[in-house]
Chains A and B, each alone.
Chain A
Amino acid sequence: KAGVTQTPRYLIKTRGQQVTLSCSPISGHRSVSWYQQTPGQGLQFLFEYFSETQRNKGNFPGRFSGRQFSNSRSEMNVSTLELGDSALYLCASSLGPSTGELFFGEGSRLTVL
């Protein structure tokens, strides 16, 4: 079956702009989590969605937001982009919330100029 799909894979934005990233989970998976990966910081948890509800949120400013649709697809949005937002944004899906193994997509690499 198809894996986790993230779009776009690469994008370049300028400071002050906003960006929306999309994630389609594995079929049947209802939980989607988002992580930010930067060099030396590992994977920083952004938020987790299950059944269209945000279950957990990491320690990120309100400029970072997300949502999940009824088909389990998820989007995350970053407004008023800053240079420090340049990172690889990874989406992961799982059968249920905070359970078991996460399956990751290949990520969306965002560069903010």
Chain B
Amino acid sequence: DQQVKQNSPSLSVQEGRISILNCDYTNSMFDYFLWYKKYPAEGPTFLISISSIKDKNEDGRFTVFLNKSAKHLSLHIVPSQPGDSAVYFCAASGGDNDMRFGAGTRLTVKP
């Protein structure tokens, strides 16, 4: 069962523009959400997180928004840079649940 869904397998944006990556979840027990970034031949690395008591968390060019009622979160990257090109995974955990990941979105930032 896919409790965390990333419906866009890929996204392409121009350098300097905004990248918006989306994620939906189904398990209402999830209360902690994370975004990971993965380059080829490397393990995923933590990017940013948000707990369910917040609706926004910002870290430099990266902002995560959480809409609990819609069970939806998004990652905004502004401005996008070519080095941001990677696969981005959305993840969620909570209750006694292990951390669940989405299928990933491959972001390509064109110079």
Q: Do A and B actually bind?
A: yes
Name A's B-contacting residues (CB within 8 A).
4, 33, 35, 40-45, 48, 55-56, 58-59, 90, 92, 98-107
Contact across chains for A102 and B96 when beta carbons are under 8 A apart: no
Cβ–Cβ < 8 Å partners of B111 in chain A: none
State the CA gap A48–B100 with chains docked (Å): 12
Contact segment of B11-19, B42-50, B54-62: B42-50
26 A-B pairs in the complex with CB atoms less than 8 angstroms apart? A33-B99, A35-B101, A40-B9, A42-B102, A42-B103, A42-B104, A43-B44, A43-B91, A43-B101, A45-B99, A45-B101, A55-B98, A56-B97, A56-B98, A58-B98, A59-B1, A90-B43, A98-B93, A98-B96, A98-B97, A98-B99, A101-B34, A101-B46, A103-B46, A104-B36, A104-B44
Chain B 24-37 near chain A by CB (<8 Å), digits 1 or 0: 00000000101010
Give the one of A4, A44, A104 with max B CB within 10 A: A104
Name B's A-contacting residues (CB within 8 A).
1, 6, 9, 32, 34, 36, 41-46, 49, 89, 91, 93, 96-104
Cβ–Cβ < 8 Å partners of B1 in chain A: 59
Cβ–Cβ < 8 Å partners of A56 in chain B: 96-98
Q: How many A-B residue pairs have CB under 8 A?
A: 57
Cβ–Cβ < 8 Å partners of B91 in chain A: 43, 102
A6 to chain B, nearest CB (A): 8
A96 to chain B, nearest CB (A): 12
Closest to B46 in A: A101
Closest to B2 in A: A42
State the CA gap A100–B100 with chains docked (Å): 12
Give the one of B6, B9, B101 with max A CB within 10 A: B101
Contact across chains for A42 and B46 when beta carbons are under 8 A apart: no
Contact across chains for A90 and B44 when beta carbons are under 8 A apart: yes
Cβ–Cβ < 8 Å partners of B44 in chain A: 43, 90, 104
Q: Contacts A55-B98, A56-B98 given; indicate if A41 touches B46 (C-beta within 8 A).
A: no
Cβ–Cβ < 8 Å partners of B89 in chain A: 42-43
Closest to B87 in A: A42
A54 to chain B, nearest CB (A): 11
